[in-house]
Structure 1
Amino acid sequence: MTKEELATFNGQNGQPTYVAVSGTIYDVSESKMWVDGNHVNAHSAGQDLTDELKSAPHVRTVVERFPVVGKLENEPEKKKKRFGLF
């Protein structure tokens, strides 16, 4: 699943609530901590929360207990612009 596709699973308007962590996408729809795609007014569903989880007050295993629904696709690396004579 791409980041654009993940963004549609934001817990709004009847959509499931998905989050990605380290390339794995979890369905957190059944969590009471993810009401309407919002986690304690600090995080929104439909996003890659890998970096945010590093500073979370809980351990990663809390997220890992939810069903896995897919993998987050790697974005292709953008070509660097070269300057100079080459």
Structure 2
Amino acid sequence: MTKEFTQAELKQYNGQNGQPAYVAIEGVVYDVSAKKAWLDGRHHGNVAGQDLTKVLANLAPHGAKVLEGLPVMGKLVQ
């Protein structure tokens, strides 16, 4: 069964105070906690616990390949 996250639930997974760091991209929620680049839930001005679809599409230099191998935690619902 796939976990469904609301925006409010996703915000709790910001990588702070012992929480894991999750981000949503195109409706899929990924766990980025194990990535050194996401230490403390922050990466190049972006904060975990958010939908970063537009960031990946418009600003990220690596494109969707950065998502390969990340654990999928569920999906983002509106």
Whether these two folds match at TM > 0.5 is yes
Moved over 2 A (4+): none
One-letter amino acid matched to 1:22: E
SS in structure 2 at match of 1:20: strand
1:15 aligns with 2:13: no
Contact 1:26/1:64 (CA < 8 Å) preserved in 2? no
- Structure 1: which 5+ residue stretches go unaligned? 76-86
Instruction: Using CA pairs under 8 Å that are at least 6 residues apart, name the structure with larger relative contact order, 1 or 2.
Output: 2
- Structure 2: which 5+ residue stretches go unaligned? none
CA RMSD of aligned residues (A): 0.8
1:64 aligns with 2:68: yes
Aligned residues: 73
Identity of aligned residues (%): 55
> Highest CA radius of gyration, 1 or 2?
1
Counting strand residues as a fraction of each chain, which structure ranks higher?
2
1:61, distance to aligned residue in structure 2 (A): 1.7
Aligned pairs (5 A) from 1:3-82? 3-40=7-44, 42-54=45-57, 55-73=59-77, 75=78
One-letter amino acid matched to 2:27: G
TM-score in terms of structure 1 length: 0.81
1:9, distance to aligned residue in structure 2 (A): 0.2
